[in-house]
């Protein structure tokens, strides 16, 4: 017998979530959005160093717009446009990698795990909370019956449990082509991967390493190149993006003989390449990042994150985030989470909702992302709104 009340409750939550996603602001300014003539604090952006509106970025695009237009072609069919290749070389030089390959976005790059770069019959070991895009890549790599050539299989260890990871490595030591797939941070949990131990185990058991580091690359480490930079550790393939600038595009870094093979992945071959005009913007953003202005914005982002965490704790929240700039709050019940998120929006604060399948079924989360453009006043007002809405909904 169908549980009609629960089904109706779920449908109501879905409708509310759909309405939330359909109500788009008129403009996103970075620290704030403009909606119906009213400014609201934006705590839902992963543009940690929001350079997408910087005057130098806009001017760089304006200078090249008549040359490149707003088009793009398949890099596989049309070859490399010079500015695209120059951006790859620039990022490789900054990071110290042998090769860089640009993709349209991080999702397309991650599903390119189904590619010659990982070899035939790979055995992937990933944790239970890995990003869904990586799981999609694994499924594509395993789908021989659908015409795939790679024949992958996969085990999933308990997130953060290095003993469990070693168990799978040890019990599959006979497999010749082993890969450990990791993300730099689990954004909902607010945890970092134990990269030193992962790479140590990879070396011990002769496994390749892939790291999705989109949330740390450009904002962490002495050279702002993420976790591998921070720990002075190398991985076989490092994936990152221009997400911290608020600009489209992603890239893979690593040894030339490995990373270059990503150019034969289906998402690379059968999709339009990254627009040359966007590459112009990304290149200009990188130049700003490594100036005093850019580095100050990165420092401001980390300061804002600590300010926000301490303020939420003082008002009764228990943020899950410990080691990242993202600040996540769990709210029991999807319906209450949606009520809370809608209420904060009415009060002038935009936060990001997470529900199934991005989160466990039946639970709700909100993730706040302080950025380098937020002021102390933005952070203090965010804490005030969160506290007031939390008391109204009964979650603190």
**In contact, 339 and 393? CB cutoff 8 Å:** yes
Query: What per-residue confidence (pLDDT) applies to 374?
Result: 98
Report the pLDDT value the prediction gives residue 15, as an integer from 0 to 100: 61
CB 80 within 8 A of CB 70: no
Return all residues near 146 (Cβ < 8 A) that are at least 6 apart: none
To 10 degrees, the CA torsion angle through 16, 18, 22, 24? 60
Low-confidence residues in the chain, pLDDT < 50: 1
Query: What is the per-residue pLDDT for 28?
Result: 85
Contacts for 15-24 with beta carbons within 8 Å, 24 or more apart? 16/338, 16/342, 17/338, 17/353, 17/355, 20/338, 20/341, 20/342, 20/345, 20/353
Return the CATH number of the domain spanning residue range 72-274: 3.40.640.10
Tokens 């397309």 belong to 108
pLDDT digits (tens, 9 = 90+) for 142-174: 865 555 556 678 999 999 999 999 999 999 999
Q: How far apart are the first and last CA of the chain?
A: 36
What is the 3-class SS of 200-263, one letter each residue? Answer: HHHHHCCEEEEEECCCCECCCCCCCEHHHHHHCCCCCEEEEECHHHCCCCEEEEECHHHHHHHH
Architecture of domain 4-53+295-393: Alpha-Beta Complex (3.90)
222-233 per-residue burial string, b: 16 or more CB within 10 A, e: under 16: eebbbbbbbeee
In this structure, what DSSP letter does residue 158 have?
P
Give dist(CA 96, CA 300) in Å, integer: 26
Domain segments of the chain as ranges: 4-53+295-393, 72-274
User: What pLDDT does 16 receive?
Assistant: 60
Cβ neighbors of 305 (< 8 A, separation 6 or more) are 321, 324, 325, 326, 327, 370
pLDDT at 149: 54
231-278 pLDDT, tens per residue?
999 999 999 999 999 999 999 999 999 999 999 999 999 988 999 999
For 283, how many CA atoms within 13 A lie in the half-sphere containing its CB?
23
Q: Is 128 helix (H, G, I), strand (E, B) or coil?
A: coil
Question: Which two three-digit tokens encode residue 265?
Answer: 């992945």
Please enumerate in sequence order all residues whose Cβ is within 8 A of that of 3, keeping only pairs 6 or more positions apart, or say none.
none
Strand ranges, E, within 17-113: 27-28, 32-35, 38-43, 99-103
Cα R_g (the chain), whole angstroms: 22
Give 322's strand partners.
none
What's residue 1's pLDDT? Answer: 46
Do 107 and 137 form a contact (C-beta atoms < 8 A)?
no
Q: In the numeric block, which tokens belong to residue 332?
A: 């029991």
What's the sign of the alpha-carbon dihedral 307, 324, 298, 21?
A: negative
Rounded to whole angstroms, the Cα distance separating 269 from 263 reads 7
- Please choose, from the candidates 279, 284, 287, 281, the residue with its C-alpha nearest in 3D space to the C-alpha of residue 83: 279
For residue 193, the model assigns a pLDDT of 95
Question: Rounded distance, CA 111 to CA 188, Å?
Answer: 21
**pTM reported for the whole predicted model:** 0.91
């Amino acid at each position: 017998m169908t549980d009609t009340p629960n089904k109706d409750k779920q449908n109501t939550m879905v409708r509310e979530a759909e309405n939330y996603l359909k109500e788009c602001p008129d403009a996103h300014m970075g620290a704030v959005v403009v909606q119906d003539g009213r400014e609201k604090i934006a705590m839902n952006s992963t543009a940690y160093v929001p350079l997408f509106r910087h005057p130098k970025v806009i001017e760089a695009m304006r200078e090249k717009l008549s040359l490149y237009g707003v088009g793009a072609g398949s890099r596989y069919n049309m070859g490399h446009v010079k500015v695209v290749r120059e951006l790859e070389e620039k990022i490789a030089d900054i990071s110290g990698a042998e090769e860089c390959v640009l993709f349209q976005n991080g999702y397309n790059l991650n599903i390119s795990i189904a590619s010659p770069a990982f070899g035939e019959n790979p055995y992937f070991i990933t944790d239970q909370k890995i990003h869904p895009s990586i799981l999609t890549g694994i499924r594509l790599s395993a789908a021989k019956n659908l015409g795939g050539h790679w024949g992958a299989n996969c085990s999933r260890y308990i997130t953060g449990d290095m003993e469990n990871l070693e168990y799978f490595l040890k019990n599959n030591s006979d497999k010749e082509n082993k890969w450990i797939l990791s993300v730099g941070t689990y954004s909902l949990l607010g945890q970092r991967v134990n990269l030193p131990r992962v790479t140590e185990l990879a070396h011990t058991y002769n496994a390749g390493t892939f790291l999705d580091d989109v949330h740390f690359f450009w904002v962490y480490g002495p050279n702002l190149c993420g976790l591998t930079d921070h720990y002075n550790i190398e991985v076989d393939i490092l994936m990152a993006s221009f997400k911290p600038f608020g600009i489209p595009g992603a890239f893979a870094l690593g040894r030339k003989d490995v990373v270059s093979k990503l150019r034969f992945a289906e998402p690379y071959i059968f999709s339009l390449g990254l627009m040359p005009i966007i590459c112009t913007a990304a290149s200009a953003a990188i130049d700003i990042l490594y100036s005093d202005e850019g580095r100050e914005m990165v420092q401001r982002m980390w300061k804002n994150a600590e300010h926000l965490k301490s303020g939420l704790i003082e008002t009764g929240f228990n943020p899950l985030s410990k080691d990242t700039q993202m600040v996540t709050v769990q709210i029991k019940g999807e319906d209450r989470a949606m009520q809370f998120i809608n209420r904060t929006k009415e009060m002038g604060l935009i936060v990001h909702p997470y529900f199934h399948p991005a989160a466990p079924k039946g639970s709700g989360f909100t993730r706040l992302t302080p950025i380098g453009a937020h002021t102390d006043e933005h952070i203090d007002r965010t804490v005030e709104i969160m506290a007031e809405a939390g008391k109204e909904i009964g979650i603190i």
